[in-house]
Structure 1
Amino acid sequence: MQQLPSSISTRLHYQHKSLIELIDGLSDTQVRQHSNTGQWNILENIVHITLFQNVIAERLQQILTTAEPQLSRYVVEADPAFHEKCRLTTSEIIKELLGARKSLTLFVERIPNEQLSLSGLHPEYGEMTIVQWLNFFLLYEAKLLFEIFKLASKVKMTQNLSMAE
């Protein structure tokens, strides 16, 4: 019988909270600032993390209730909620992210150990157990948090240069 690894449980509880430190001191305008590379801004990345938490919860529910479900790739830009959520303030979307994470964590903690080995088919990575889906989600979230780190660093560096002039 598989158990939820402590590395997954710990990251599920705490990884997302690094976001607060990453954007500390930035205004809503700065969080929405686009670079000239055409990348997403900080807020869009936060919205993506928020929505993806809900998608993972839905996928886990499908795995728990359907025999070997085939799960399609999630394309956040095609999600109507993405554009709607991008209109929220930074504090509103962070509040939503924290609430969604609390719900996801509670949901995951209630999954019986004997069901953690149930699986669903990812279109690119193949058959993955619930534990693997959680690891996939947390690794992807870490990638988005790193993007936010890089974007916030550039904004802060620009801000410091302007203040020095």
Structure 2
Amino acid sequence: MNIYPSLSQRLNTQHQAIQQLIAGVSTQQLNTPMAPGKWSALDNIAHLAIYQKIFVERMHRIINEDTPAFERYNGDLDPEFTPYRSMPLTDLLDTIEAGRVTILNLITQLSDSQLSRIGIHPRYGNLTIVKWLEFFVLHEAHHLFTIFQLVNAPQ
């Protein structure tokens, strides 16, 4: 099982869109949620930063355990998410870049049989590591779109 070219390209570069999406956006706008109780653009960026760490932990479990099952990740319930929400934007972007390097270093070392290992997603069931990687970039893309919406909403 291979990591196909479009997946590889998105893993390598998709996160870099954040800087383009938020270029010229005020700190106030980055910190303003669309509705009370919802995440701001900066909260979404913080979520992407911490989720990479969660994702790496999950990949290690899939590699080292037989068919581990995972609970749904909820940032609002993760005590580690709170400090990320308080980080400066530049630190979050650096954390995302470093996390992506960690993910890429991990997955490029995996054999085809390791890429075929299964982890159980709470909603989508048995997923190979390749499918988990696809889920990861689609999840990230969802948050990138949310960031786009937040920073381009009429004020």
Same fold (TM over 0.5): yes
Q: Which residue pairs with 1:114 in the alignment?
A: 113
The answer to whether the Cα contact below 8 Å between 1:31 and 1:90 also exists between their aligned partners in 2 is no
Secondary structure of 2:14's match?
helix
Partner Cα distance (1:32, 1:95) in 2: 19
CA contact (8 A) 2:67 2:118 kept: yes
Structure 1 unaligned runs (5+)?
A: 159-165
CA RMSD of aligned residues (A): 1.3
Distance in 2 (CA, whole Å) between partners of 1:59 and 1:70 is 9
The equivalent residue for 1:75 is 74
Secondary structure of the equivalent of 2:148? Answer: helix
Task: Tell me which structure has the larger Cα radius of gyration.
Answer: 1
In 1, Cα distance between equivalents of 2:120 and 2:34: 36
Runs of 4+ in 1 over 2 A off after TM superposition: 27-30, 34-39
Unaligned runs of 5+ in 2: none
Q: CA deviation at 1:37?
A: 5.0
Q: TM-score, normalised by structure 2?
A: 0.94
Give the equivalent residue in structure 2 for 1:162. none
SS of equivalent residue, structure 2 residue 80: helix
> Equivalent residue of 2:138, what SS?
helix
Check conservation: 1:35, 1:41, Cα contact below 8 A: yes
C-alpha distance after superposition, 1:22-76 (max 9, x if no partner): 0001233321122335421001000111111111111111010001111111111
Contact 2:33 2:150 in 1 (8 A): no
